[in-house]
Amino acid sequence: MKYFLIFINFIAINIFAQNNVDSLKKLLNTTEEDSNDINLLVDISLEYIDNNYDSTLYYLEKAKNLSISLKNEEETIKIYQYISIAHSNNADYYSEIEILKKALKITQKLKLDQTTCELLHDIGLAAKNTGNFSLALEYFNKSLEISIKNDYQEQILNCYIGIGNVFMMQAEYNNSIQNFYNALKIAQETENTRAISLCYNNIGNVYYYQNNFDKALEYYQKDKKNLDENFSALKDKKTLSQFADNYNNIGACYFFKEDYVEAFNNYTKSLKIYKELNSLRDVVSSYYNIGELFLVQKKYDSCSYYYYKAYNLSKEINDKYSIVLTSLNLGIFYKQINNLEEAIHYLQVSYILADSIGAMNFTRETSKQLSDIYYQTGDFKKAYDFLEINKKLNDSIVNESQIKKFTQLEMQFEYDEKQKIEQIKLDAEKKHQKVINYSLISIIGLLSLLAIFIIISLLRKTKANKILIDKNLLIANQKEKIEKNHKNINDSINYASKIQQALLPTTDTFTQIFPKHFILYKPRDIVSGDFYYLKKIENKIILAVADCTGHGVPGAFVSMLGIAFLNEIIRQKEIKTASQILEELRLHTKTSLKQTGKFEESKEGMDIALCIFEDENQKIQYSGAYNSLFLIRDKKLTEYKATRTPIGIHVKEIPFTNHEITIKKHDLIYLLSDGYADQFDENFKNKYLIRNLKSLLLNISDKPMQEQKSILIETFENWKKTTPQNDDVLIVGINI
């Protein structure tokens, strides 16, 4: 899942002092207590501000007490601001708010409007960091009101960015992007290159949270280009932090574009800088992002290591927003490794805290995850309740009107910029024309002819532009229709996936019959052409693994027919052998799909391996259509060959062979489709092949069943790397 981006909130003040601490202390001891001592104490504190919180506060407290005793209120305000910065660096945002309010009281008394605006903004920023979004908006808006009244352009810009970030955290994306565009407009008008970078970054974040990763990457790359052109030679904290944020966010886009190498490179660059800067909240984000990278690659130990580092550091600095995110993803991690009890615990932590601070984006995601897990555990009431919560949040966060609003805002901004450029050009042309008129009267006639030519060209260009605009509007309408149809199709396929999952045996059913087992089920698409089947009838257990023609939607339809046919055959027929079931299944398939052998007919069908276990003896029956059965006993593998004919119409239909196999306790039986063995490597040259799969099964046969599954998954991912999965994969393993 996508999530941990870096929000850049305001243009920071460079607070680094360069004086030597020892020299400053010596100088301090040689002076009497006066305003110079205050400056020396502040300078000493700033030497410690990045690496020694206690020493910083010690010298700032001394400076504060001295300024109060000297009744120097303006100096006291500055010292309060430095103390707030120390608290912020230590992620103690509540203490930061408390000290800023003390400074605010003095500025309001002295009617220092500009400093009052700065303090109101900084209180809003600290409140945002505690997760108190309503308080943050209250103070940002107070600062904005005074800033607009007094035309404090830089402070107006900072307030728009702060408000935009709060709205983004609350998933109010229309309001968020409007504020970021307001800030960008001011930054460009004032030629504030650093602020331009901040705005590009935050606009990219809004598109990122709307799943528009190409658009997000476009803005992050604009940010990167601006930083490289204007700040690459600087090594101060402010600049390094912006580079780190940019690396982090570019990495997040590459992650969702599945370019994991680029994602890892950018994440590690950002983590290195954050650690050097001791920026703890940002270190949390990097830990989380790297953990996420390992999760999608099934490297669970590495994922768990980084997730817990992120979660523990979030709690240590009491950052509610970070706790929401890291606990959410620990829940997803435990869900993926099937530890549902731990998954529910962490997801509940995330849901309750996200709801309390109004972080709708994460309330939506946790409700979806909890609904899925409660469905798996059979608690359908809770599953339904959380599904309803998720649906309401989805409707309120993402809808077509928001997407249109985004487009309108971006188009309006681009139009305004073009109008400015055109106006500048027009003014320059008028001035130039005036000079020409005064100094070159002799060529007025020539200029008149030139003007006529220009007018004709402009008319032609206007006509061409109108045609182009009409074409673009037509393309945009077609694009919108296609996207809507695509969404409807995806929604239908996702719903079909739920139906298909409901037809498959549950984990509880499998565990009751075969306590020691695993099921490796990896559809290539949302729905699958592979299925597994388990049914107990009186003293018999029927187990099957099938691979239907095709994959995706066509394969899924055939798989659901196969399950329905097996249920009907077993319920209505007096079945004695496994081969008899396959004969009946072939007949049902040919009849239902109207297959008579004509060339133009559909050739859909399936390959299958089917076993019958009987309670009263230590034997099983097996029959297969192309799909073999593999038995491992005492570290030796035996393959029972399937009949070389499919379920469905075939040029030469032959009867299915029925095998009777004597089994012993601790025998291992594997049924599988051909998807695993047919997977291509990263170069699209070689398949994994069945002989390698048989060798792998033999090598891991002495391990617990769930560990075997993990090894099979890891081997599969390491083999294909970034190559797309080319077929559905299904392997069922049983320890007798």
Q: Tell me if residue 704 falls in helix, strand or coil.
A: coil
What confidence tens digit (pLDDT) does each residue in 630-649 have?
Answer: 999 999 999 999 999 999 88
Query: What's residue 162's pLDDT?
Result: 94
**CA dihedral of residues 117, 123, 125, 130 (deg, nearest 10):** -170
How many Cβ atoms sit within 10 Å of the Cβ of residue 197?
A: 25
What confidence tens digit (pLDDT) does each residue in 673-721 have?
Answer: 999 999 999 888 899 999 999 999 999 999 999 999 999 999 999 999 9
State the average pLDDT for the chain. Answer: 84
Query: pLDDT-derived band of residue 627, with 50, 70 and 90 as boundaries?
Result: very high
What value does the mean pLDDT take over residues 436-456?
Answer: 66
- The enclosing H or E element of 610 equals strand 606-614
Q: Length of the chain in residues, anyone?
A: 736
What are the helix (H) ranges across 19-52?
21-29, 35-48
Burial degree of 232 (CB within 10 A; 0-12, 13-18, 19+)? exposed
Q: Which residues pair with 124 in a beta bridge?
A: none
Tally: H helices and E strands in the chain: 26, 10
Burial degree of 51 (CB within 10 A; 0-12, 13-18, 19+)? exposed
Both structure tokens of 216: 């997000």
Of 526 and 449, which is predicted with more confidence? Answer: 526
Residues 135 and 161 sit within 8 Å (Cβ to Cβ): no
Both structure tokens of 441: 């009267």
User: What is the share, in percent, of the chain residues with pLDDT greater than 90?
Assistant: 45
How many Cβ atoms sit within 10 Å of the Cβ of residue 704?
A: 12
Residue whose entry in the numeric block shows the structure tokens 């994959």: 551
Of 89 and 374, which is predicted with more confidence? Answer: 374
Q: Which residues pair with 638 in a beta bridge?
A: 631
Both structure tokens of 344: 């529910």
What is the maximal distance between C-alpha atoms in the chain? 117
What confidence tens digit (pLDDT) does each residue in 343-366 have?
Answer: 999 999 999 988 888 777 788 889
Q: Which of 56-60, 160-164, 547-551, 556-560 has the highest mean pLDDT?
A: 160-164
CA distance 334 to 353: 19
Amino acid at 111: K
Looking at the predicted structure, is the pLDDT value of residue 550 above 80?
Answer: no
How many Cβ atoms sit within 10 Å of the Cβ of residue 480?
A: 14
Query: What's residue 440's pLDDT?
Result: 57
Residues 308 and 316 sit within 8 Å (Cβ to Cβ): no
Could you tell me which of 590, 551, 561 has the C-alpha nearest to residue 499?
A: 561
Q: Tell me if residue 403 falls in helix, strand or coil.
A: helix
Query: pLDDT-derived band of residue 230, with 50, 70 and 90 as boundaries?
Result: confident
Query: pLDDT-derived band of residue 2, with 50, 70 and 90 as boundaries?
Result: very low
What confidence tens digit (pLDDT) does each residue in 403-420 have?
Answer: 445 555 555 555 455 555
Crossing angle (nearest 10°) for helices 552-572 and 578-592:
120
Q: Tell me if residue 473 falls in helix, strand or coil.
A: helix
Query: pLDDT-derived band of residue 400, with 50, 70 and 90 as boundaries?
Result: very low
Looking at the predicted structure, is the pLDDT value of residue 232 above 90?
Answer: no
Low-confidence winner among 10-19, 44-53, 373-382 (lowest mean pLDDT): 10-19
Query: pLDDT-derived band of residue 447, with 50, 70 and 90 as boundaries?
Result: low
Query: pLDDT-derived band of residue 104, with 50, 70 and 90 as boundaries?
Result: very high
Could you tell me which of 373, 334, 346, 728 has the C-alpha nearest to residue 556?
A: 728
Total-model pTM: 0.45
Torsional class of 111: left (φ above 0), alpha (ψ -120 to 50), beta (otherwise): left
Looking at the predicted structure, is the pLDDT value of residue 626 above 90?
Answer: yes
CA distance 340 to 370: 10
Would you say the C-alpha torsion 696, 699, 701, 705 has a positive or negative sign?
negative
CA distance 453 to 576: 94
Could you tell me which of 694, 719, 560 has the C-alpha nearest to residue 629?
A: 694
Radius of gyration of the chain (CA): 34
CA 452 to centroid of chain Cα atoms: 57
CA distance 17 to 19: 6
CA distance 263 to 254: 5
- The enclosing H or E element of 537 equals strand 530-537
Q: Which residues pair with 606 in a beta bridge?
A: 548, 647
Q: How far is CA 83 from CA 10, 76, 177, 215, 580, in A?
A: 18, 10, 32, 40, 83
CA distance 417 to 14: 31
CA distance 350 to 354: 6
CA distance 132 to 126: 9
Query: What's residue 125's pLDDT?
Result: 92
Q: How far is CA 428 from CA 75, 433, 446, 448, in A?
A: 49, 9, 20, 19
- The enclosing H or E element of 462 equals helix 444-503
Both structure tokens of 543: 């187990």
Backbone phi, psi, residue 627, to 5°: -95, 120
Residue whose entry in the numeric block shows the structure tokens 């599988």: 672
Q: Which residues pair with 637 in a beta bridge?
A: 632
Residue whose entry in the numeric block shows the structure tokens 């001791």: 278
Residues 549 and 603 sit within 8 Å (Cβ to Cβ): yes
Could you tell me which of 547, 492, 549, 550 has the C-alpha nearest to residue 521?
A: 547
Q: Tell me if residue 598 falls in helix, strand or coil.
A: coil
Query: What's residue 263's pLDDT?
Result: 92
Query: What's residue 11's pLDDT?
Result: 45
What confidence tens digit (pLDDT) does each residue in 481-519 have?
Answer: 777 776 777 776 777 678 788 889 998 899 999 999 999
What value does the mean pLDDT take over residues 224-250?
Answer: 86
Residues 66 and 58 sit within 8 Å (Cβ to Cβ): no
Query: What's residue 265's pLDDT?
Result: 93
Query: What's residue 660's pLDDT?
Result: 94
User: What is the share, in percent, of the chain residues with pLDDT greater than 70?
Assistant: 84
Query: pLDDT-derived band of residue 576, with 50, 70 and 90 as boundaries?
Result: confident
